Every structure is written in structure tokens, then in C-alpha cells.
Amino acid sequence: MNWLRQHRLMGVALLSLVLGSLLAACAPDPATSIITPDLGPQLIAAARAKATGMEQPEAPALLTLADMSDEEIYAGLDGDLAAAIQAADPAGGENLATANACIGCHSLDPDVVMTGPTWHNIGDTAVNRVAGESPAYYLYQSIMDPNAYVVTDYPAGIMTQTYQDTLSQEDLATLIAYLLSLHGAGE
Ligand code: HEC
């Protein structure tokens, strides 16, 4: 083998190497077919689905009045008031709600938004408003000290603040009994 032939052979070997890798680069690669013009939108949609899934975790089952004992419903209230609520006739609360102007700000219709939140199902709503507060205590506090807890999306200081001075214990008890009777709509 002379010097020239040796270098020619090396040249051919090099050339086929280069050609081979060029061919390999041009061959259709299955991985490249994933990259389509739709990839961007697809990725965004997948990310959105994941994000919304995280924003809406499965809601824990809410307690209702029907799940609770009397002791749990009236917990935290003065014993006399708790007894007065249990002895009261809830139906009397309707007149009291008119006489004390409550119905000027609260409707019984879930779809009617007035100045205050609807009283539709308020008995069950009261169970879950404030962690650790019994529903009867929550209603009592909502009437006697409206700013102690302000319902989300409603401004503080709008509800009449003087019921603690104007309502008798008997009327207060009847109103709370009435509000507690508005329940069971979510079951
Ligand atoms: C001038 C309007 C107005 C009047 C009158 C009024 N309220 Fe309210 N009430 C509101 C507003 C606004 C809220 C929500 C803001 C807050 O929590 O204080 C509210 C909240 C409540 C809540 C809590 C509701 C919930 O979904 O948690 C109860 C219970 C309630 N009121 C009972 C009464 C009773 C009983 C009367 C009458 C004795 C009455 N209100 C009179 C405006 C009013």
C-alpha cells in the first residue's frame, strides 16, 4: 500500500462517516413529530386544567342543623336565652322581622340580593360561618353585635347596630328561633 492509496482510503472512510451522520440527521425522528404548531396551545391548556383543578379542591361536606344535637346548636349562649329560644314559637319571628325592619335588608329568596345577605337556609348557613361558633350563638351575635363577624362581600356598619338596646330578650329569642327554622334547603 503506497502513501497515496492510504490517504485516499482514509478520505473515503471520513466521507462516509460525515455522510452517514448527515443522513441520520435527516431521517424522520419520532420525537420530532411531537413538536407541532399546536404544541404551545396544548401546553397552555394542560397548565390551565391543572391550575383550575388546584383552585377547586373538592369541597368538604358541610354540617347542617340536622346533624347536630341541641347542645351543639345552642353552645356558648347564656342558659336562659338558650331555653327561651327553645321555648319560642318560630312563626312569631316573621312579624318581628317586619316590625324591626329586618326584611328591609334581608330577603327569603336565595336569588334576591338586598342590602344584607339572604335568609334563605340561614339556619344551616349559621352552622358553618365561624369555626367554633354554634349556629344559635352566631345568629345571636349577628343581631346584637353585627360587626363581630362581617359576611364576605358585604360592608361592615350597614346593619342596624342598635338591636342590643331595642330588642327584648323574648323577641330576640323568637327571632333566633325563626332564623334557625329556616334550614334544610340544601339537603
Ligand atoms: C340596614 C340593613 C339591615 C337591617 C335593617 C338588618 N340587617 Fe342584618 N345584615 C345586614 C348586612 C349588610 C349584613 C351583612 C354584613 C354583616 O355581617 O354585618 C347583615 C347580616 C345579618 C346576619 C348574618 C347573615 C349571614 O348570612 O351570616 C343576620 C343573622 C342578620 N343580619 C339578622 C338580622 C336581623 C334579625 C335583623 C332585624 C332584627 C336585621 N338583620 C336587620 C343588613 C341589615
Q: What whole-number distance in Å separates Cα of residue 140 and Cα of residue 174?
A: 11
Choose one of 103, 106, 175 to mutate for the ligand 1 pocket test, by most ligand atoms within 8 angstroms of C-beta: 106
Do the domain assignments include residue 8? no
120 lines ligand 1 (CB under 6 A): no
Residue 36 forms part of a structural domain: no
- Kindly report the pTM of this predicted structure: 0.74
| Residue 85, C-alpha cell as written in the block | 329560644
State how far the Cα of 84 lies from the Cα of 72, in Å rounded to an integer: 16
**Minimal-distance CA residue to ligand 1 atom 11:** 116
Distance, CA 175 to ligand 1 centroid (Å)?
12
In which band, very low, low, confident or very high, does the pLDDT at 45 lie, cut at 50, 70 and 90? low
Domain extent, residue 107, equals 65-153+166-181
Task: Indicate the pLDDT class of residue 113, thresholds 50, 70 and 90.
Answer: confident
Q: Which range is least confidently modeled, 49-58, 79-88, 103-112?
A: 49-58
Band of pLDDT at residue 62, cut at 50, 70 and 90: confident
Placement of cell 339556619 in the chain: 123
Query: With b meaning 16 or more CB within 10 Å and e meaning fewer, what string describes 153-175?
Result: eeeeeebeeebeeebeeebbbbb
Q: Ligand 1 mean position to 34 CA, how many Å? A: 58
- The tally of domains found in the chain comes to 1
Q: What is the structure's pLDDT at 31?
A: 52
Assign 74 a pLDDT band (cuts: 50, 70, 90).
very high
Length of the chain: 187
- Confidence (pLDDT) at 181: 98
Q: Is residue 2 one of the residues assigned to a domain?
A: no
Q: Whose CA is nearest to atom 42 of ligand 1?
A: 159
Task: Specify the CATH number for the domain of residue 80.
Answer: 1.10.760.10
Residue 35 in any domain: the answer is no
CA–CA separation, 173 and 88 (whole Å) = 7
The answer to whether residue 56 sits within a structural domain is no
